[in-house]
């Protein structure tokens, strides 16, 4: 019994991850890695703060504070803040940049993820007051950064800001920059002499940018230096000027988050709102490439979109800037062989460049490997637009890659092998973020067992009380109710936040109609359900309906965890009986099997509802019942005629999502706690193995695994 919350499959990896971040912490900021990148990097710090937010709020705050301490007077936040104590191991350093006033920074910027990181810290804060002080402190600085970008980098007020160096994109040698860079004719005689230091750390040259690329990077830095970093002059002379889709999408997301911050601080939001709308519209309109089936960056020198097919073109999902139609098209591109389709096998989701291109290279830096930061943003974007299955597949890979191959900078998109530096901070930080998200989203169903807080309902709450006369009820009532609440959920689904707006739903006439239908349940004759299939569909639908209904009626903010006895105390009256979700799940659908970690069944021996119990338990029901959290996947609608197929699908989706992580090298699987709690329903350990074998996709990463699984016991641990 006491094992319930004791086994956490990721525990050892979480510990290791925290150790890595601790090792890279300098006292003021976190280095991207100890050898290759000893200074502070702009967007790295934002990703690192996002991961640290969960277990060390103060450090997360400090990370951003120390970055912004070096903000330029014009508002720009530099790409690198140099640490004077460790100069000499990186190129270019301050002696080469020679920025105004002897500052120890580079003279370019990076994707402005900071408002998003600040909001993330605020949203996840344990110390709420501290977090509020923090966003209050950061707000003027964030405003100054966004003002700088819109003023200096978008003088035509197009809504799209430009970058003027590939390093500003964060994706140094992306294939997208090949063409614009080729235009730069470098005369080695006039180029200041320099020595690359990035190749001195044992990383093979073919996994890094080429010397030709480096010459051009240096050429641009030299130009900025000669022009004294005066933007107006740079704008006139710079041969590399791009309205980068990744940079602008991140800016658009940051605008949204800045707006949220401004709202909390009760600041005037007109300026930020204007930016957000302008950028969002400009991305949709000017960066969409219909024939590429994705977004692309705009080369300001040629006036053309750069047809580059990199993962950066999916970032408008993260920015919330893609239209629904565009999102659907992008989704199809993401889920194609070009970017490692779902269940394709022999690849990891998603490589950062089109795998079908001739120059795709699964090992070379920004030209084909998997990067956790890019995928973290894309999966968040996909989730926001409702593409949950793909988002989950990406999440699963983002978790398993570091576990299997180490906390590397980037990963081979075919084999998973880790490249670049190890102990890389943003990989580690975002891994932590994903694992924490896991824990907080999915420890839902039995959490109410843990504590009986004062928010518990004092008495049963019947959700279908009589308000009008009971009309005749039809046999399809459960499915009608279910489809009606499903439709309601869809119409109040907030695309950007990935949540249902339950408050608005409650006020709508459709909801009132739904309530009237629910009242009809009172007159429903349960004996009219005859076949097993009919019963399964009826009760699953009803369970899912009553949970959503309860969430709406009780005004639950984020999860049913807020009301510890939710599952036993909300109920529908049906044909003279009362059924709570608990009664439906355990009493009926689980054939009155004991709920986990309880001594008695829900229906006692004399309970008259016993006649409705299903004779046999089907463990697939566990993947068909909603979890009762606002962030849950949209509920599905079950039909008696298709129930077998539908339950198989639910089980398959679950088993192939990030709820089940297969670690073939370790002959180990890490499973959702559902398998722990309902161990018996699946037939114990061996039953779980059989179940997994039946539903696991044989494609991706599963090649080795089933054989091992059949031969011996895999190590099973629980999330």
Residue among 43 and 623 whose Cβ is closer to ligand GLC: 43
Residue among 44 and 244 whose Cβ is closer to ligand GLC: 44
Burial class (CB in 10 A: 0-12, 13-18, 19+), 158: middle
Return the DSSP state at 292.
G
Stretch that binds ligand GLC, among 40-48, 133-141, 479-487, 651-659 (CB under 6 A): 40-48
Minimum distance, C-beta of residue 312 to ligand GLC, in the bound complex (Å): 12
Binding flag, residue 43, ligand GLC (CB under 6 A)? yes
Residue among 167 and 612 whose Cβ is closer to ligand GLC: 167
> What tokens appear for 106 in the block?
């580079």
Binding-site size for ligand GLC (CB under 6 A) equals 7
Residue whose C-alpha is closest to residue 288's, from 265, 316, 264, 266? 316
706, β-bridge pairs: none
Binding flag, residue 41, ligand GLC (CB under 6 A)? yes
C-alpha torsion 27→33→37→42, nearest 10: -70
In angstroms, the Cα distances linking 607 to 237, 464, 532, 611, 661 are: 84, 22, 21, 9, 41
Count CA within 13 A, CB hemisphere, residue 610: 9
Residue among 349 and 373 whose Cβ is closer to ligand GLC: 373
Omega cis (within 30) before 45: no
Question: Which of 37, 224, 438, 492 touches ligand GLC by CB under 6 A?
Answer: 37
Which helix or strand (DSSP H or E) is residue 581 part of? helix 581-582
Residue among 32 and 316 whose Cβ is closer to ligand GLC: 32
- E strands, 188-333, are 242-243, 288-289, 294-295, 298-299
Residue among 172 and 392 whose Cβ is closer to ligand GLC: 172
> What tokens appear for 146 in the block?
């966004």
Minimum distance, C-beta of residue 413 to ligand GLC, in the bound complex (Å): 17
> What tokens appear for 577 in the block?
């009986």
CB atoms within 10 A of CB 656: 22
Residue whose C-alpha is closest to residue 699's, from 273, 405, 341? 341
Cβ pair 717, 7 in contact under 8 A: yes
Stretch that binds ligand GLC, among 36-44, 120-128, 189-197, 435-443 (CB under 6 A): 36-44
Stretch that binds ligand GLC, among 38-46, 216-224, 332-340, 622-630 (CB under 6 A): 38-46
Please state, in angstroms and rounded to a whole number, the distance separating the CA atoms of residues 252 and 651. 37
Binding flag, residue 93, ligand GLC (CB under 6 A)? no
Please state, in angstroms and rounded to a whole number, the distance separating the CA atoms of residues 501 and 492. 5
CB atoms within 10 A of CB 51: 30
Residue among 108 and 537 whose Cβ is closer to ligand GLC: 108
Specify the 3-state DSSP secondary structure of 639.
coil
Minimum distance, C-beta of residue 51 to ligand GLC, in the bound complex (Å): 14
Stretch that binds ligand GLC, among 35-43, 459-467, 629-637, 646-654 (CB under 6 A): 35-43
Stretch that binds ligand GLC, among 39-47, 152-160, 385-393, 625-633 (CB under 6 A): 39-47
Please state, in angstroms and rounded to a whole number, the distance separating the CA atoms of residues 571 and 550. 8
Please state, in angstroms and rounded to a whole number, the distance separating the CA atoms of residues 129 and 703. 50
Question: Which of 32, 159, 619, 664 touches ligand GLC by CB under 6 A?
Answer: 32
Binding flag, residue 44, ligand GLC (CB under 6 A)? yes
- Binding to ligand GLC by CB under 6 A, coded x per residue (else -) over 131-170, reads ---------------------------------------x
Interface positions, 165-204, toward ligand GLC (CB under 6 A): 170, 172
Burial class (CB in 10 A: 0-12, 13-18, 19+), 389: middle
Cβ pair 90, 39 in contact under 8 A: yes
Cβ pair 278, 243 in contact under 8 A: no
Binding flag, residue 244, ligand GLC (CB under 6 A)? no
> What tokens appear for 402 in the block?
């570091």
Residue among 170 and 180 whose Cβ is closer to ligand GLC: 170
3-state secondary structure 268-284: CCHHHHHHHHHHHHHHH
Minimum distance, C-beta of residue 143 to ligand GLC, in the bound complex (Å): 24
Minimum distance, C-beta of residue 255 to ligand GLC, in the bound complex (Å): 21
Residue whose C-alpha is closest to residue 382's, from 333, 310, 416, 338? 333
Minimum distance, C-beta of residue 248 to ligand GLC, in the bound complex (Å): 16
Residue among 176 and 488 whose Cβ is closer to ligand GLC: 176
Please state, in angstroms and rounded to a whole number, the distance separating the CA atoms of residues 473 and 476. 8
Q: Which residues are designated catalytic?
A: 172, 409
Minimum distance, C-beta of residue 193 to ligand GLC, in the bound complex (Å): 22
Minimum distance, C-beta of residue 43 to ligand GLC, in the bound complex (Å): 6
Residue among 109 and 362 whose Cβ is closer to ligand GLC: 109
Going by DSSP bridges, is the β-strand pair 40-41/577-579 parallel, antiparallel, or unpaired? unpaired
Please state, in angstroms and rounded to a whole number, the distance separating the CA atoms of residues 595 and 602. 8
Q: Left if phi > 0, otherwise alpha if psi is -120 to 50, otherwise beta: which for 386? A: left
Specify the 3-state DSSP secondary structure of 450.
helix
Minimum distance, C-beta of residue 109 to ligand GLC, in the bound complex (Å): 12
Stretch that binds ligand GLC, among 22-30, 37-45, 185-193, 533-541 (CB under 6 A): 37-45
CB atoms within 10 A of CB 653: 17
Residue among 37 and 567 whose Cβ is closer to ligand GLC: 37
Residue among 9 and 369 whose Cβ is closer to ligand GLC: 369
Cβ pair 405, 411 in contact under 8 A: yes
Binding flag, residue 78, ligand GLC (CB under 6 A)? no
Name residues whose C-beta falls within 8 Å of residue 237's C-beta, 6 or more positions apart in sequence. Answer: 223, 227
Which helix or strand (DSSP H or E) is residue 494 part of? strand 493-494
Binding interface with ligand GLC (CB under 6 A): 32, 37, 41, 43-44, 170, 172
């Amino acid at each position: 019994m006491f094992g319930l919350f004791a086994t956490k499959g990721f525990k050892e990896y979480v510990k290791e991850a925290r150790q890595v971040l601790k090792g890279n912490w300098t006292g003021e900021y976190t280095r991207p890695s100890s050898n290759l990148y000893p200074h502070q990097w702009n967007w790295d710090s934002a990703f690192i703060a996002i991961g640290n937010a969960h277990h060390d709020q103060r450090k997360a705050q400090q990370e951003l504070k120390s970055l912004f301490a070096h903000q330029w007077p014009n508002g720009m936040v530099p790409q690198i803040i140099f640490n004077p104590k460790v100069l000499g191991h990186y190129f270019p350093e301050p002696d080469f940049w020679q920025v105004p006033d002897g500052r120890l920074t580079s003279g370019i910027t990076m994707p402005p993820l900071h408002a998003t990181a600040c909001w993330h810290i605020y949203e996840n804060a344990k110390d709420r007051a501290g977090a509020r002080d923090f966003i209050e402190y950061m707000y003027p600085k964030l405003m100054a950064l966004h003002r700088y970008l819109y003023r200096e980098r978008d003088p035509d007020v197009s809504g799209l800001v430009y970058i003027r160096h590939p390093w500003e994109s964060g994706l140094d040698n992306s294939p997208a920059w090949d063409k614009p860079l080729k235009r730069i004719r470098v005369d080695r005689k006039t180029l200041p002499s320099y020595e690359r230091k990035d190749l001195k750390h044992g990383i093979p040259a073919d996994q890094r940018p080429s010397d030709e690329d480096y010459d051009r990077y240096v050429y641009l830095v030299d130009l900025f230096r000669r022009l004294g970093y005066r933007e107006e002059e740079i704008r006139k002379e710079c041969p590399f000027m791009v309205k980068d889709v990744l940079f602008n999408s991140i800016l658009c997301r940051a605008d949204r988050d800045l707006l949220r911050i401004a709202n909390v601080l009760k600041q005037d939001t007109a300026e930020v709102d204007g930016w957000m709308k302008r950028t969002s519209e400009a991305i949709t309109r000017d960066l969409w490439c219909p024939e590429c089936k994705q977004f692309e960056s705009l080369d300001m020198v040629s006036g053309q979109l750069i047809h580059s097919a990199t993962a950066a073109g999916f970032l408008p999902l993260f920015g919330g800037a893609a239209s629904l139609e565009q999102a659907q098209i992008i989704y199809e591109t993401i889920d194609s062989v070009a970017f490692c389709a779902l269940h394709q096998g022999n690849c990891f989701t998603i490589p950062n460049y089109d795998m079908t291109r001739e120059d795709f290279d699964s090992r070379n830096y920004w030209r084909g490997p998997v990067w956790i930061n890019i995928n973290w943003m894309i999966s968040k974007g996909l989730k926001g637009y409702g593409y949950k299955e793909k988002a989950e597949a990406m999440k699963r890979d983002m978790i398993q890659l570091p576990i299997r191959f180490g906390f590397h900078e980037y990963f081979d998109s075919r084999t998973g092998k880790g490249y670049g530096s190890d102990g890389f901070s943003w990989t580690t930080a975002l891994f932590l973020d994903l694992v924490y998200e896991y824990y907080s989203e999915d420890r839902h169903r039995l959490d109410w067992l843990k504590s009986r807080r004062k928010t518990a309902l004092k008495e049963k709450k019947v959700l279908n009380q009589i308000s009008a006369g009971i009309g005749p009820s039809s046999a399809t009532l459960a499915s009608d109710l279910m489809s009606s609440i499903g439709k309601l959920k869809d119409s109040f689904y907030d695309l950007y936040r990935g949540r249902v707006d339950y408050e608005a739903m409650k006020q709508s006439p459709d909801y009132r109609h739904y309530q009237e239908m629910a009242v009809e349940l009172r007159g429903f004759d349960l004996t009219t359900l005859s076949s097993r299939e009919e019963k399964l569909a009826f009760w699953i639908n009803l369970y899912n309906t009553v949970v959503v209904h309860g969430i709406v009626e009780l005004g639950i903010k984020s999860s049913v965890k807020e009301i510890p006895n939710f599952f036993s105390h909300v109920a529908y009256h049906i044909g003279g009986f009362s059924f709570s979700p608990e009664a439906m799940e355990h009493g009926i659908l689980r054939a009155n099997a004991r709920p986990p970690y309880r001594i008695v069944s829900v229906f006692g021996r004399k309970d008259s509802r016993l006649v409705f119990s299903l004779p046999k338990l089907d463990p697939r029901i566990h993947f068909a019942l909603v979890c009762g959290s606002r962030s849950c996947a949209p509920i599905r609608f079950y039909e008696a005629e298709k129930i077998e197929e539908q339950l198989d699908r639910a089980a398959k989706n679950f088993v192939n999502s990030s709820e089940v992580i297969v670690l073939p090298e370790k002959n180990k699987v890490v499973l959702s706690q559902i398998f722990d709690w309902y161990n018996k329903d699946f037939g114990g350990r061996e039953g779980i193995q059989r179940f997994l074998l039946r539903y696991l996709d044989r494609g991706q990463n599963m090649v080795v695994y089933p054989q091992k699984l059949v031969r011996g016991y895999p190590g099973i641990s629980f999330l």
